[in-house]
Structure 1
Amino acid sequence: MRLVVLGGGESGVGTAILGKQKGYDVFVSDFGKIKENYKEVLIKNGIDWEDEKHTESLILNADVVMKSPGIPEKAAIVKKLVEKGIPVISEIEFAAPFTKAITIGITGSNGKTTTTMLTYHLLKSAGLNVGLAGNIGKSFAEQVAEDKYDSYVLELSSFQLDGIINYKPHIAIITNISPDHLDRYDYKYENYIDSKFRITMNQTEEDYLIYDADDEAISEWLKKNKTKAKLIPFSLTQTFEEGAFIKDNTMEVIINQEEFKMETESIALEGKHNFKNAMAATSVAKLMQIRKATIRESLSNFQGVEHRLEKVLKIQNVQYINDSKATNVNATFFALDSMTTPTVWIVGGVDKGNDYNELMALVREKVKAIICLGVDNRKIIDAFGNVVDIMLEVNNMNDAVKMAQRITEKGDTVLLSPACASFDLFENYEDRGRQFKEAVHNL
């Protein structure tokens, strides 16, 4: 069996290692440059590879192709594979059959990283032998090759779900759905929504789907479509006989007639959206039969995720917050919504077809100044130019932070929450967040 791996990054190299271990004839091809550390791994494992090109004669003879999530369906080589009827799948689809471990799959437009990390924290703190993979950390395929975990918490992007055929998580979570990455879905929101719901398409009556019952797109889809999985809703406004909800400042989770209660003020993560993440993660912990005391302790000591509403420093009574992970408008909505002091907002980058109107009321109420950090800021200036008193443009992080310091007063907040991708000025959102933190520390 010939396995061709497109993309020589984390998921590609992990898949190649697992494929080789399972007796496949493996070839890795990357149209860009493969990083030195990944090349070394491929060479050490005796795996053939090429970079900065796709040699068709070495690719179109594949029995199966694993496509890295960053490569669009529209890529010429992918179209040719599909025309030839060669299955093009994701890393998750390739690796899942080689493990007996239970998987917990988590998707959504926002909150999925926090929910994934919190779920992992709950299970690990309870002493479960659990791995963490998907969009985070070490590749799922490579961990399956090492075969040391009984269960996995997987953060799954829509791109990873597009490449599944038979994969099903035992427990699936959809945190929420808002327009994102529409450039990859022919600018059709319904295509993107369908893509997220692939997480439940192979689930059976034995499996569970945990979902945000306040989310319009999710509720609409569930009205029109069926899943066999047992449904477990969570909500800030409704209550359920089975599910998770907030009532009188208490989080309640009822599953299989068992009830778990915890005061919301004891939950380490702040903000309404984080109560939702906590309800989703706690529902998993209950399904995995983790003790109440352990859940309580884990929820009260969880540290949060880097680059997601991360408090960096307080300087001259001004709080600097790194929310670089907010790469779409909906994520920035949560960030602005949780601000309680006058805010200097650093925003901008590569726009994925953003509609800034939904932020208008929050900007009017909370934002005193906007600093645009991007190559093309026209849309942001058009949207908010008449709403805030100060609108500035910069093209590097140091200037953004220095400028912010100049216009803040005691008691203000400086919030980096870009609502955009980072690829115009930075390598990725992590690089953007790290540069912000460094600039703040240098003030």
Structure 2
Amino acid sequence: MAEHQDQVPLTDIGVRDTGIDVIVVGAGFGGIACAIECKRKGHRVMILEKVHELKRLGDTLNLGVNAGRILARWGLHEKFWDISANPREIHIHDYLGGFIQVQKLPLPLFGAFAYNGHRALFHEILFEHAKSLGIEIRMGHQAVEYWEDETNGKAGVKIQTGETFDADVIVAADGVKSLARKFVIGYHDNPKPSGYAIYRAWFDAEEHGIMSDPLTDFLTIHGDQFHTWIGKDVHFIATSSHGGKVICFVITHKDDAVVDGDWSSPGKIEDVLDIVKDWDPRCAAVISKAPSCIDWKLLVHDPLPTWISKSGRVVLIGDAAHPFLPTSVQGASQAIEDGTTLAVALNLAGKNNVPLGTRTWESIRYQRVRDAQLLGETLRNKWHGAKPGDSGKSFELPKPEWLLAFDAEAHAYATYDGIARSIVEDGYRQPSLSGE
């Protein structure tokens, strides 16, 4: 818990070399976080990333205080805070504009800060921090095959050029369409449509008339804002950042389209406007200002039976293991927790016990991740069922202590020995979920 974080053995560069070689496939939030913490814990780490160069894509991202305390421990608080939106409350409305609730957003919360901002800018901070630590990041290296050799205690990955790399453990942080997933679980488990999609946009407030329209200037005149309209199996969120100068909207709606290929593509503003045609006119006013939008299909997986390969040397983390709905507001945060916990588990296991480390890590993470996923599903269903006249705290964005006061590094140190001992004594079993 947050109040115990000073008791964590905070390690840094210069810690004893464990001799454990780690290859991380994918330089997203989970992959980079894993690499950073692996470096801090004395492992030798390299990242393979399929794109040749970073591009400033995407829009808003939230990193919860459970991730924020990890980022602060890395010395990155100021960098994230300087580019974060800082709304002090969430204004929750029904779809006709009726008042439901104002939810206060106290910061710090449970001793740490959350960060809300542009996904690409946040990612750039982590990417540059990893490089500053001396972590090798090889761009343009697309994984095409995985393998492991239990006899030699190695796992490996082949890239598109035919070149191969081996290590003590391969961390597949390669996203919702992970290539490593089939290798780990032994069969194709492609993501399936959730039944929902999101239209999303990010644009300049002044340039596109937000400030001069009395229906939309509420997003700009009092600093950073967060407003949501809920009901009719839809929720629409409009936010402002940078002191009200930048606008973002996301609208989650029913969509049963079969995803064939990319799940993200250019959308049409007129299609977005059709969803809110009988809503509070402020919603259409905000949407109509956007110069363009993205149509993003929400894909889900049933919980995988395991996140680790037969020999325990290929590991799935982040979206490769457990995609999150946006209403959880935890996808990137849980990926960062994954990477942090894995680095600790490998450190405590040692080079001769890597499979025990990964199996213990899986046990530490599995139920927590599922509980966080279900929180997002519950909130979506509650918001989408809201009716005019509803009110009260039950519609607030949940901020439970078990989720946000959590310190992944401290928890890994506290629980590793007991779980590892039970695996040694009783044998490894694939994880199971309570209550499902």
Report TM bin, short chain. under 0.3
- Structure number with greater CO (CA < 8 Å, separation at least 6) is 2
